[in-house]
Structures are given as structure tokens and as C-alpha cells.
């Protein structure tokens, strides 16, 4: 969707909002970097605000609930 131009500003805005939820952030991060998968900064930046995403990841890593499973 990103490379085909279907993923636009409304999608990016919605994803930015959804990433406020820890479970969504965890799942998105696993999708981007889980197992043998890796995603570059430019691609992440096409899907959401890269800086906001990195800020949320840093907050999540420092969270006392990081090791809790829902």
C-alpha cells in the first residue's frame, strides 16, 4: 500500500494515533522488526511519523509494564 501510493496522510495520521496503545505499538514493531525482518527508517517514515514512533518505542522500553503480557 505504501509503495503503490494508497497509504496517504489519513492512514499515517490514524496509525500515529493508534500507536499510543502499547499493544498496537508492540505489534507494529514486531511487524517491522520481528524475526529476520528489518525495515529502514525511510519506510517507517512513509507509514507513520518516524520521530513520534521512535519516541513511543523509547517510552515503551522504559515503561514498568514492558515485560507484562496481555
Give the model confidence (pLDDT) of 12-32 as tens digits.
Answer: 999 999 999 999 999 999 999
Q: What is the pLDDT of residue 4?
A: 86
Spell out, as residue ranges, where the chain has pLDDT lower than 50.
Answer: none
C-alpha–C-alpha distance, residues 9 and 15, integer Å: 10
* Residue located via cell numbers 503480557: 69
Residue 33's CB is within 10 A of a number of other CB atoms, namely: 13
Phi, psi dihedral angles at 10 (to 5 degrees): -60, -40
pLDDT more than 70, % of the chain: 97
C-alpha–C-alpha distance, residues 36 and 4, integer Å: 24
Q: What is the pLDDT of residue 25?
A: 96
pTM: 0.85
Q: What is the pLDDT of residue 67?
A: 81
Instruction: Report CA-CA distances (Å) from 20 to 46, 52, 67.
Output: 18, 10, 17
Amino acid at each position: 500500500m505504501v509503495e503503490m501510493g494508497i497509504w496517504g496522510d489519513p492512514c499515517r495520521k490514524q496509525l500515529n494515533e493508534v500507536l499510543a496503545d502499547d499493544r498496537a505499538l508492540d505489534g507494529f514493531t514486531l511487524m517491522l522488526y520481528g524475526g529476520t525482518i528489518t525495515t529502514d527508517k525511510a519506510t517507517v517514515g512513509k507509514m507513520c511519523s518516524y520521530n513520534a514512533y521512535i519516541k513511543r518505542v523509547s517510552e515503551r522500553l522504559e515503561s514498568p509494564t514492558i515485560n507484562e503480557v496481555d
